[in-house]
Amino acid sequence: MDRDAVAQVLGLQAIGFLVGTLMIGYVADWLGRRGIGLITCMTGFMLVFMAIQLAILLEPVAMTPAVWFVFGMFGQAGILAYAWQAQYFGNHLAGRSNGCLNTLVFGIAFASQYLIGAIIDMWPVTAAGGYDPVAYQVSFGLFLALQALAFVWFLLGVPSAHLKRKET
């Protein structure tokens, strides 16, 4: 893409980020009033997010700005973990549990960005001076595979009784 197209896609992705942050909380609240818990809601959103990542990996050149909007929108699904933790641990431990989660999120984000950069650097720079698209596919594909493994581990390893709201 040329610089203008990149700017437009990044702008649309940022709008998707904002819409997702607002929409995910609203939808989770709406579903909660109908008996569907935060974990179930977050699980559905995460599946959509992983599916959009897979679509981007399989056809990165053909992706439209709308796909990047959806990527930004559903990338916010993990924010529901903070609300779930507050319910699970109760008000008296919500700050501590969310602080711990925040530390974990920032630490993993730093390590992930570093590793993605290290993987991309394994490929030579293209003649145009950019990074090889295959390098992006490999690094992002690896992290999508890690997400999928963690998701399966979550589904198989967490008894449903632990996912229910604790009474305070």
CA 118-79-135 angle, 5° bins: 20
In a domain, 36, yes or no: yes
Predicted confidence (pLDDT) at residue 162 exceeds the cutoff of 60? no
Q: Does the predicted TM-score (pTM) go above 0.75?
A: yes
Closest CA to 165 of 101, 54, 67, 85: 85
Q: Per the domain annotation, does 108 fall within a domain? A: yes
pLDDT computed for residue 8 by the predictor: 87
Is 79 contained in some domain? yes
168 is a domain residue: no
**Residue 147 belongs to some domain of the structure:** yes
38 belongs to a structural domain: yes
* 16 close to 72: Cβ distance less than 8 angstroms: yes
The pLDDT tens digits of the residues spanning 29-44 come to 999 999 998 888 999 9
Can you give the residue range of the structural domain that contains 149?
Answer: 3-163
- Residue 99: the pLDDT is 94
CA dihedral 45, 48, 49, 52 (to 10 degrees): -160
Q: What is the CA radius of gyration of the chain?
A: 18
Tokens of 145: 């595979």
Number of domains in the chain: 1
Q: For residues 39 and 164, give the distance between their C-alpha atoms in angstroms, rounded to a whole number.
A: 9
Give residue-wise pLDDT tens across range 94-113.
999 999 999 999 999 999 99
Whether residue 13 is contained in a domain is answered as: yes
Rounded-to-integer distance, Cα 51 and Cα 38, Å? 20
